[in-house]
Structure 1
Amino acid sequence: MIENYIQWYAPSLDRQIDVLVYGDRGHPLILFPTSMGKYYESKDNGLIDAIAWFIDNGLVKVYCPDSVDAWSWYNKQVPPAERAHNHTRYNAMLHNELLPRIRGESGYDRIAVAGCSFGGYQAANFAFRYPGAVSYLFSLSGVFDVRFRLDGYYDDNVFYNNPVDFVPGDNDPALWQMGIILGTGEYDICLAENENFSRILSTKHIQHWLDIRPQARHDWPLWKAQLPHYLSLM
């Protein structure tokens, strides 16, 4: 498998960003790590191996960026307002720095996004913030309400990074042009989150698939079974 490591100084973050890239052609996919996960997490936990066939056959090119969760949502050392602001800066890096690079390398205007657990939140938040840039969203055991990280604080940065809040009032036509899968399991700790967000999408008549796997729990074996299936549907 072709694997490349890239890094650059990201002005949006005022820090270095690290990304592992798998493959050399195909539909681009940003694959986000779990809570406070690193750019190599998906490789270390076998998720890249699980989708290797799609990479090796030139069907997808996968970008695995570092997270900044420990600097944003999970940073209890700073006030909640700063946590939300720091995530807004991460969004800016993704949209203004990583996305143009992906478009230039791939020739695709719209990309796919995916992630597991809190990475599912990252994927969903990016997809619904920028629906015109996203062709497919695969959220695996994701969360869609980030307020549990903010000690009751709320501002515009929270609202516009909290899909359960901003999606109901968003009528961007591109929302109805995405392929959306919300993957979860029967015993998943995020099952209720996915069922609730599915209801929000259904209320807006946004087509999607709520995939609840029987007997499955919130862990890598579930995600390694789901993601190859979802890629096969692209």
Structure 2
Amino acid sequence: MSMPSPKTPELRQASAPVPYAQALTEMEARNRAIADGTAEELVWLLEHPPVYTAGTSAAADELLDPRFEVFEAGRGGRYTYHGPGQRIGYILLNLGERGRDVRCFVHSLEGWVIATLADLGLESWRAEGRVGIWTKDIDGREAKIGAIGVRVRRWVTMHGFSVNLAPDLSHFTGIVPCGIEEFGITSLERLGIGLAPEAFDKALLARLDDFLASLEGKACSLP
């Protein structure tokens, strides 16, 4: 007898910036509640006031100019900037009911963002040996348009992705973003695509079911 499919997660969309410390506290509490079976899974779309966050692999010399608050995020990865004009997706799913495959989850998360950007008219891709979502900048060189950073505790995911809609790109110069010095950072606005957060959310959520389906069984196709 087959197990019933997990329910669709609760959706939360923030219209005003959420302080990073508040979001982290709420996310950690929700993670515990999902693991305990007392709360639903959650897809939380939001943005933060300007902040630098350090992942578990962050090196001290990659923090070049701490002009904003710096938080230990507890996620994988290195230093990342979050701020206005950047849409963030915190994805809290119970992988215990969705395949128990962390590598599949990260791959599917990347694929969800890449497919959404394609729907919005921008080609993007994964890059071998470099975490994140990449595209061609206005100078023709590869540049990063999205970051990926996750944590899994008791088979429940935390953190997720960020996509640069129209942030102040100079804010990224205070860090070595994700530890990668030789490539730049770009945004949809820089590439000529003006997009409100609500429009990005709509495109992203149109592919939510595809993302969830990709986590299950043989539907998760890794290269």
TM-score (structure 2 length as normaliser): 0.31
Q: Which has the higher strand share?
A: 2
More helix by share: 1
RCO higher in structure (CA 8 A, sep ≥6): 2
